[in-house]
Amino acid sequence: MISSLPPLVTEPSYSYGSAWGRGEQLARQRHWDSGDREDWDAPYALTCTADELATEHTRGVVRAGVNHLTVRAISRLDCTLLVAAFPDLTRLSLSGNLGTLTSAAALNQLPQLQGLTITELFGMFSAWPLCPM
């Protein structure tokens, strides 16, 4: 049993984090150890603009492996299209410069969504409530 093993380090820690990186730190270290000094991009995360998202949607691209999505520079975004293109989201961040979301209630169709950030966007009406699970 792991719980009966003695601790590997007995000295106190002088730094703390808010969460375990779930393997991200190991992936970054392996990336660095391979000699690649370019920025590491998580294969499960995507950052794009609303225009880039719309371009992918017109091509019918579904990104089932993306869990973390950040969409910036939103002037107008239909949430039903976002849900159809990214069904496995656990974290979603949407931001614009006083842009508009339409069909925001469609975000309720993302059963794995755990974190949602919406910044400087309009379109959240009482008829479209977001219901935490």
Q: Does residue 87 belong to any structural domain of this protein?
A: yes
Rounded distance between C-alpha atoms, residue 92 and residue 2, angstroms: 35
Range of the domain at 92: 42-133
Task: Tell me, yes or no, whether 99 lies in a domain.
Answer: yes
Residue with tokens 């009966």: 4
Residue 42, both tokens? 């998580």
The per-residue pLDDT for range 14-42, each reduced to its tens digit, is 766 555 566 777 877 888 888 888 877 77
- The reported pTM is 0.70
Q: What type of residue is 92?
A: L
Among 45, 1, 5, 50, CA closest to 24: 45
Q: Is residue 56 part of a domain?
A: yes
Q: Is residue 29 part of a domain?
A: no
Q: What domain count does the chain have?
A: 1
| End-to-end CA, the chain | 34
